[in-house]
Structure 1
Amino acid sequence: MKRSCCPNCCYPKATCVCKYVSPPISTHTKVVVLQHPSEASIAKNTVRLLALQLTNIEIFNGESSRDFEKAKQLITSRQSALLYPNEKAISIEQLTQQQQPIDTLIIIDGTWKKAHKILALNPWLTELPSVTFAELPSNQYRIRKAEQQNSLSSLEAATQFLHEYENIDPQPLFTLLNGMITEQTKYMPQHIKARYD
């Protein structure tokens, strides 16, 4: 039997996160998410939360260059940067000192393995400037095991960037993230829930 979902947040009504959503956050930077198809249906995926809170966000689902043709057209017509820790990435602190600001941030949403595959299938992404964090914030996304130490969820990465680059208040987004974690864990047996506390 299919579970009934909230028409606003699209989570099952039993784990609805609407009560944690703050007034919409407007940003100068457009957030463009390239989401691997396998991530879209995962209940603990945080891009869904970003879409509930940010007004200037666009999500493209796919893997190949053909899947992201519209995203490519949008990105290449703007001052864009890829949030990805490769060898040519500069820190956000360096970015804020540049005269030409970026107006579009690209985030790849998927495991490290899936992100690598998207990069391999979309070489145009490697031609974009890359940005990273000089120091990673602590990971608050405790209900999904990361493949690498100090990994951040897509929500945490976007929030940290917008906080450092535009000085937005990160708390509404983190409140929403923690609210989702609360809802996702509330029906777990206590001994399993204890792993995430």
Structure 2
Amino acid sequence: MKRPLCNHCQFPEQTCVCKFLGKPLKNHCKILVLQHPSEVKVAKNTVRLLSLQLSNLEVVVGESEADFAQVREQLQSVQCALLYPSENAMALSPSQEQANRPIIETLVVLDGTWKKVHKMLMLNPWLMTLPHVSFAQLPENQYHIRKAEQAFSLSTLEATAHFLHLYEQVSPAPLYQALAGMIEQQTRQMPEHVKQRYLRDE
């Protein structure tokens, strides 16, 4: 039996995050999330929060090149970049002058575990031909209820929030507030022994 969902946030009613949401942020740079199918039904996935808080966001679910054929065509007519820490990525920093930053109309963000993201890159070599951007310094990871696979891992929401903060000076506070609210709601539903494990790991 499916749990009833909140009509607005689409989280289960028991973990509704509506009271933690602020006014949607107006981001000029479009955020295009390519989401691995295994992430769609994950309760702790942060893309749903982004879709509630950003005015200029598109989510495309898929894995293979065929899944993203339309996306690839769409990106040919805009200045875009992939958020990915490759060797050739331009590292964005707070002190970087606006004139030295690449023009990005659409930022492509991959949503999945590192293993799934790696597979998406292998199946879509065209992604590696896009300009890449990353961060000179990472913000502290605040997503304590989902284990990071790498020391430098950020959730999709945190990575997107940090990019918009550096690139457009958009305050990340509303996005972090939504994330903290989701963590609070999810933690409340955990058995006590599971909850204590996460608290110890923080």
Using the size of structure 1 for normalisation, the TM-score is 0.96
Say whether the 8 Å CA contact 1:138–1:150 is kept in structure 2: no
Residue pairs, 1:138-177, within 5 angstroms: 138-177=140-179
User: What are the superposed Cα offsets for residues 27-78 of structure 1, whole Å, 9 maximum, x if unpaired?
Assistant: 1100000000000110000001000000100000000111011211222211
Instruction: Compute the displacement of 1:150 (Å).
Output: 2.2
Deviation by residue 1:9-29 (Cα, 9 ceiling, x = unmatched) = 111111111111100101110
Secondary structure in 2 matching 1:32? strand
Runs of 4+ with >6 A deviation: none
Q: CA–CA distance in 1 between the matches of 2:182 and 2:24? A: 17
User: By how many angstroms is 1:166 displaced?
Assistant: 0.5
The alignment's C-alpha RMSD in Å is 1.4
1:127 corresponds to which letter in structure 2? T
In structure 2, the partner of 1:54 is 54
**Take 2:111 and 2:10, find their aligned partners in 1: how far apart are those partners?**
19
Q: TM-score, normalised by structure 2?
A: 0.93
Q: Is the 8 A contact 1:35 1:60 kept in 2?
A: yes
Q: Give the CA deviation at 1:95.
A: 8.3
Cα offset, 1:138, TM superposition: 0.6
Compare 47-56 and 181-190 and name the one that shifted more. 181-190
Correspondence 1:37-48 to 2 at 5 A: 37-48=37-48
| Residue 86 of structure 2 is aligned to residue 86 of structure 1 | yes
What corresponds to 1:72 in structure 2?
Answer: 72
Unpaired segments ≥5 residues, structure 1? none
> Percent identity, aligned pairs only?
55
Query: Deviation at 1:99?
Result: 6.7
Alpha-carbon distance in structure 2 between the residues aligned to 1:160 and 1:188: 29
SS at match of 1:60: strand
Q: Once the two structures are superposed, what CA deviation does each residue of 1:133-172 show, in whole Å capped at 9, x if it has no partner?
A: 0011110000001111120000000000000110111100
Q: Tell me the secondary structure at the aligned position of residue 67 of structure 2.
A: coil
Aligned-partner Cα distance in 1 for 2:90–2:9: 35
Structure 2 CA distance for aligned equivalents of residues 48 and 70 of structure 1: 22
